[in-house]
């Protein structure tokens, strides 16, 4: 597949549905509340398939190698958090605004809704599998640290850390994809034969997942909020697209894994290190009454700006 075809497919599956969702809301054709139902359906019905397949077909040399991938993800996310601390200090942010900024810096859209999809497009199903393992760190590391940070910087009246974490671990949106990850790894370890039809089916589901998520996000898009937070949003964009890939490459190199999986590990890490703000950052800001407009503005700007980063990522990692 030529680079031009890859970029056309990326645009068709990400930015076209995003624009369609945005226009559907602006024209009054669909209500923004539909966004939550669409995202929930994609996470429960479609994403587990991509997670299972990615883990099942992944060429895992050893159990230790499989555990190393989410460790890389965790270190990259914590490195992004450290960079965000520096940015918050330079911008002199405090209180709820600082809490929202730090969560936006640490949490990136690394799932199949964007980062995993790009790994699939650039690196194939093996890249998809590595992205699934990489993303496994998100809930035990990023979400937990994010909730603690949010509780520290929150306004009065927010949910407690314990309440939020207990709700997360019982949530089917968490249990179902992680259950698929475990099943996929078990099938991989058992060397179960992968059915021939699974590859084409996986490709269809991968495209469907990112398209549904993009459309759902478009339904809630508010471009007017970006202007008041342009400094914070630009700082986060620099953190994501400039520092993120450098941090990812450094982590893989320092762990001595530059040649792991035939070089696919560093390529996957660099791609996922350069992803925009995750929607989870806006969720946490909403739960803990942080600066919601900052989180939403940062998410909007970095998601749109990712269009410029994708061709560069292809040149670096292809």
- How high is the pLDDT of residue 97? 93
Burial class (CB in 10 A: 0-12, 13-18, 19+), 37: exposed
Write down the pLDDT at residue 1: 66
Q: Decide: 119 and 127 in contact? Cβ < 8 Å.
A: yes
Burial of 129 (0-12, 13-18, 19+ CB in 10 A): buried
C-alpha–C-alpha distance, residues 283 and 74, integer Å? 20
Q: Give pairs for 25-28: CB < 8 Å, separation 24+.
A: 25/218, 25/219, 25/220, 25/221
Q: Tell me the C-alpha distance between 318 and 104, whole Å.
A: 28
- Give the per-residue pLDDT at 224: 74
Cα–Cα nearest to 51, from 107, 120, 108, 109 = 120
Q: What is the pLDDT of residue 155?
A: 67
> What residues are paired with 108 via a beta bridge?
277
Residue among 111, 91, 105, 100 at smallest CA distance from 271: 111
Predicted confidence at residue 250, as pLDDT, reads 97
Those residues whose C-beta lies under 8 Å from the C-beta of residue 284, and which sit 6 or more positions away, are 103, 107, 143, 146, 147, 150, 290, 295
Dist. CA 193–CA 176, nearest whole Å: 23
Q: What is the pLDDT of residue 123?
A: 93
Helix (H, G, I), strand (E, B) or coil at 88: helix
Q: Which two tokens stand for residue 273?
A: 């290190």
Q: What's the start-to-end Cα distance of the chain, in Å?
A: 12
pLDDT in tens, the chain (318 residues): 676 787 788 888 888 998 999 999 999 999 988 988 888 888 889 989 998 998 898 887 655 567 899 999 999 999 999 999 999 999 999 999 999 999 999 999 998 888 999 999 999 999 999 999 999 998 888 888 888 888 888 766 555 667 766 776 777 877 888 889 889 989 988 999 989 898 899 999 999 988 998 898 888 777 777 778 889 999 999 999 999 999 999 999 999 999 888 899 999 999 999 999 998 888 788 777 888 889 888 988 898 898 889 899 999 987
Give the span between the Cα atoms of 97 and 88, in whole angstroms: 9
On the 0-12 / 13-18 / 19+ scale of CB atoms within 10 A, 227 is: exposed
């Amino acid at each position: 597949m030529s680079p031009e075809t890859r970029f056309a497919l990326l645009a068709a599956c990400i930015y076209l549905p995003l624009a369609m969702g945005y226009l559907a809301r602006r024209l009054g054709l669909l209500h923004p509340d539909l966004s939550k139902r669409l995202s929930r359906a994609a996470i429960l019905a479609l994403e587990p398939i991509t997670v299972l397949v990615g883990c099942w077909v992944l060429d895992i040399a050893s159990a230790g190698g499989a555990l190393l991938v989410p460790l890389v993800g965790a270190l990259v996310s914590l490195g992004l958090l450290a960079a965000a601390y520096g940015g918050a200090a330079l911008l002199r942010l405090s209180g709820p605004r600082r809490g929202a900024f730090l969560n936006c810096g640490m949490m990136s859209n690394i799932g199949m809704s964007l980062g995993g999809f790009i790994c699939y497009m650039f690196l194939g199903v093996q890249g998809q599998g590595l992205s699934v393992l990489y993303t496994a760190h998100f809930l035990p590391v990023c979400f937990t640290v994010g909730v603690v940070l949010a509780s520290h910087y929150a306004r009065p009246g927010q949910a407690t850390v314990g309440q939020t974490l207990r709700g997360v671990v019982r949530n089917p949106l968490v249990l179902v994809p992680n259950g698929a990850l475990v099943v996929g790894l078990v099938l991989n370890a058992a060397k179960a034969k992968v059915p021939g039809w699974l590859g084409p089916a996986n490709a269809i589901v991968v495209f469907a997942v990112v398209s549904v998520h993009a459309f759902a996000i478009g339904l809630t898009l508010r471009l007017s909020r970006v202007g008041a937070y342009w400094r914070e949003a630009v700082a986060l964009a620099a953190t994501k697209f400039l520092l993120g890939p450098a941090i990812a490459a450094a982590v893989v190199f320092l762990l001595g894994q530059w040649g792991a999986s035939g070089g696919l590990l560093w390529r996957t890490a660099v791609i996922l290190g350069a992803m925009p703000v995750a929607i989870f950052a806006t969720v946490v800001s909403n739960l803990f009454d942080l600066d919601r407009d900052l989180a939403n503005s940062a998410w909007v700007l970095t998601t749109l700006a990712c269009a410029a980063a994708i061709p560069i990522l292809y040149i670096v990692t292809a």
